[in-house]
Structure 1
Amino acid sequence: MRTDDLINAIAADAGTSPRRFAPALWAALAVSAVAAWFVGWSMMPPRPPVDPAFAAVRFPMKFVLTGAFGVAAAALAMRLATPGAALRPARGVLFAALALLAAAVLAELYVTPGDLWETRMVGQNWLVCLIHVPILSAIPLVVTLLAFRRGAPGSPTRLGAAAGLLAGAVGATVYAAHCPDDSPLFLGVWYTLAVGLVTIVGAAIGSRILRW
């Protein structure tokens, strides 16, 4: 078979290939999320009672934001793992997650007095966040990368980065249940940095193990 024929055959199969490894991905995410949850409960004490001023919106908003990035990362990774698949729909989901985070940050700046912005942004546990989110993301990252070895990515580095973003979102979701810092300003800085670190690690590892 000539190279052009092989490429055309792979592209023609792009519409059905996600079904081959999607079950493996969802199983991997479920198992790794449970494992990360147990690791989190063994490493960190339960969070203090939720501040009533934050309970109504800010505390649940953390899970909305981390979940939105998890969904966006999963959609992007599934596309990247499929030869010839269009990335535009997944990019749209990612941009929607970014817009949601930006809206939450802007709303927090609007309702919070300016002299409290820095306090809300720095929080109490910024260093704990930077350490624990990557730790809690380690198992999801390994398991997710193994699941994506069933795919045929055109860019192993980009797929690894998407897997890292997905694993980071899982780790951030687990950490959010323990973290007493609920302000979107804190999430926008420290959660983003922590998940970004996992994304970079995923890209580095994916560039090596996701080649085909």
Structure 2
Amino acid sequence: MKTDELINMLSEDSIVRFRLSHALTLAFVAAILLAGTLFFTVMGFRPDIEAALTSLRFVFKLVVTAVLFLVAANLMVRIGRPGAWVLPWELALLLVPVLMAVSVLAELVVLPAGDWAAQMIGHNAHECLSLIPLLSIGPLAAFILALRQGAPENPGRAGAVAGLAAGGIAAAFYASNCTDDSPLFVALWYTMAIVIVTGAGYLAGRRWLAW
């Protein structure tokens, strides 16, 4: 049997589709519970959370991380099924860097040039680079286990998408603790942390999603 024929057969298998959809639904619930439990056990909300909710910068952090998770999650649902059309959701991922670029430009316009470096470096870079990957461990494991019920054509790519989704969840939780709200900080350090998780997902996918 040719590889293309096998892929088509798997993509039409209703049992595989049901199992993957069911597994991913459970994985999403587990991911939020695992990340949330660790977050509230180790970190919790920042002390000024009520005042922060009135800040556009703070709300932006929550929005951009939530958008990353939602788009990556929808892409992950499709990428686990061979032959599925994923291009629209791959293009939708571009919304995240576009949002970041617009916010960074707005920040550069509003802030004096002398404040740019300080806002970008912030006060919590080390915590950002360590806590986002830490919060991602449970969600990433849940997503990889769920994707094993499917048949992704490119295991590494599927794992990377799982890493993006896990990083989005983790970053959203961490954002409600982090006191650095500048888009300059978010664009640099949050991106670096999520890249770490995405790389871990890629390696995990190559190792555990190959078929």
Query: Which residue of the partner structure matches residue 57 of structure 1?
Result: 56
Cα 1:206–1:28 shift into 2, 3 Å = same
List 4+ stretches of structure 1 deviating above 3 A.
Answer: 1-5, 14-20, 50-55
Query: Which residue of the partner structure matches residue 148 of structure 1?
Result: 147
**Aligned letter for 1:66?**
T
Tell me how far 1:116 sits from its aligned partner.
1.0
Query: Which residue of the partner structure matches residue 108 of structure 1?
Result: 107
Q: Within 5 Å, give how 1:97-136 maps onto structure 2.
A: 97-136=96-135
Q: Within 5 Å, give how 1:175-186 maps onto structure 2.
A: 175-186=174-185
Q: Give the share of equivalent positions with the same residue, in percent.
A: 40
Unaligned runs of 5+ in 1: none
Distance 1:186 1:203 in 2: 25
Q: Within 5 Å, give how 1:25-64 maps onto structure 2.
A: 25-44=24-43, 46-49=45-48, 55-64=54-63
**Aligned letter for 1:9?**
M
Q: Give CA deviations for 1:152-198 in whole Å, capped at 9, x if unaligned.
A: 11100000000011111111111111111111111100000001000
Q: Which moved more, 1:43-52 or 1:143-152?
A: 43-52
Unaligned runs of 5+ in 2: none
Tell me how far 1:50 sits from its aligned partner.
5.0
Q: Which moved more, 1:159-168 or 1:24-33?
A: 24-33
Distance 1:54 1:115 in 2: 27
Distance 2:59 2:152 in 1: 35
Contact 2:7 2:83 in 1 (8 A): no
Contact 1:172 1:191 in 2 (8 A): yes
Query: Which residue of the partner structure matches residue 6 of structure 1?
Result: 6
Q: Give CA deviations for 1:69-120 in whole Å, capped at 9, x if unaligned.
A: 1112112222221111122111121011221121111111121111111111
**SS of residue in 2 equivalent to 1:86:** coil
Distance 1:63 1:154 in 2: 32
Tell me how far 1:201 sits from its aligned partner.
0.5
Distance 1:164 1:99 in 2: 20
**SS of residue in 2 equivalent to 1:124:** coil
Distance 1:100 1:186 in 2: 14
Cα 1:4–1:164 shift into 2, 3 Å = closer
Distance 1:84 1:147 in 2: 18
**Aligned letter for 2:88?**
P
Distance 1:19 1:79 in 2: 13
Query: Which residue of the partner structure matches residue 171 of structure 1?
Result: 170
Q: Which moved more, 1:19-28 or 1:104-113?
A: 19-28
Contact 2:8 2:82 in 1 (8 A): no
Distance 1:67 1:53 in 2: 17
**SS of residue in 1 equivalent to 2:94:** helix
Q: Which moved more, 1:201-210 or 1:98-107?
A: 98-107
Q: Count the aligned residue pairs.
A: 211
Query: Which residue of the partner structure matches residue 69 of structure 2?
Result: 70
- Alignment TM-score, normalising by the size of structure 1: 0.90
Tell me how far 1:31 sits from its aligned partner.
2.0
Cα 1:51–1:4 shift into 2, 3 Å = closer
- Alignment TM-score, normalising by the size of structure 2: 0.91
Aligned-CA RMSD value: 2.2
